[in-house]
Amino acid sequence: MPSPFNRAWRACLRKEWRSEIRNPQGLYLSFLFGAMAMASIMFVTGTQRPTAEMAGGLFTIVILFSALQAVPRLFLAEEEQGTFDLVRQWGSLDALWLGKALFAGLQQFITALVLGVLFAGIIPLPIVSPIHYWLTIPLLGLAVANVLSLTSSIVITAQNRWILSTVIALPLLFPFIFLGISALRVSFGVGSLEGGWQAIVALLMYGIAPLAIGPNLARTLWNERKDPIQAPTGQHNEVKP
């Protein structure tokens, strides 16, 4: 018998999965934005051979671009389609956040792997260290998804929520750009293997951190049952029997 928390986050994850399978939006959006970013980059670079750092940077941009719309949509659409109040009144807000964040992570994990396969086929650079490449790519997708889940959940009821979710996320996403480039350039044969591993571990740690913060943040921010405010006693609206 799972604990109430485990039962709740699994239910949220299942709900997101069912909604996505029956009405695909997030995966399409994520993949199409990423593929479009990659096509644009390839079109601009043409036949030029990019440096390892440049290739790492380009792929990091592709991952960012694919996540910047798809992940916030998971959270912000709840408010826009009018289901946030429905699900919020049922409680387990921390589990609700975790279920959604895990689905966002899964979505970006899959997208990053598919885009990684495409990128490996398109980029005119040999992958010298495949283990660095294939570890960095899904980790980058997961980490970016987790940060965007965190920032989207903060602004879910704000009027300009779409802009805010990205604006707040940008400073938090900068470290991923550096870590992504550091790890990916090693996979293309530039830099020390130790440096690549350090970047991967940092990416992992940085990516996990939102999963520790997010549930607590959601429990605090999404819960409107705060301590009551004492008002001055005055006239009462008449309740007629």
Partner 1 sequence: MIAQVDNLGHRFDQGWLFRHVAFDLNSGDRLLIQGRNGSGKSTLLKCLVGLMIPREGTFVVPEAIGYAALDQNLYPALNAIEHLELSADLRNCDPKSEALLTQVGLADQANKPCRTFSTGMRSRLKIALALQQNPSLLILDEPTAALDQSGRDLINSIMEVFPGAVIYASNDEADARWATHALTL
Q: What is the largest CA-CA distance in the chain?
A: 83
Work out how close the CB of 204 gets to partner 1 at its nearest, in angstroms, rounded to a whole number.
Answer: 30
Query: Letter for the amino acid at 120?
Result: A
Work out how close the CB of 194 gets to partner 1 at its nearest, in angstroms, rounded to a whole number.
Answer: 45
- Residue 77 in the binding site for partner 1 (CB under 8 A): no
Using CB under 8 A, which of the segments 14-22, 45-53, 133-141, 175-183 binds partner 1? 14-22
Pick from 87, 118, 168, 211: which binds partner 1 (CB under 8 A)? 87
- Residue 150 in the binding site for partner 1 (CB under 8 A): no
| Phi, psi (degrees; rounded to nearest 5) at 173 | -85, -15
Residue closest to 78 by CA, chosen among 100, 56, 95: 100
- Residue 171 in the binding site for partner 1 (CB under 8 A): no
What does the radius of gyration of the chain's CA atoms come to, in whole angstroms?
21
Q: Report the C-alpha gap between 123 and 69 in whole angstroms.
A: 25
Residue span 22-61 as binding mask against partner 1, x where in contact by CB under 8 A, dash where not? xx--------------------------------------
- Hey, which residues between 206 and 235 contact partner 1 (CB under 8 A)? 223-226, 228-235
Residues 6+ apart with CB under 8 A from 164: 151, 154, 155, 158
Residue closest to 14 by CA, chosen among 95, 108, 109, 112: 95
Catalog residues that contact partner 1 under the rule CB under 8 A.
Answer: 4, 7-8, 10-12, 14-15, 18-19, 22-23, 81-83, 85-92, 95-96, 223-226, 228-241
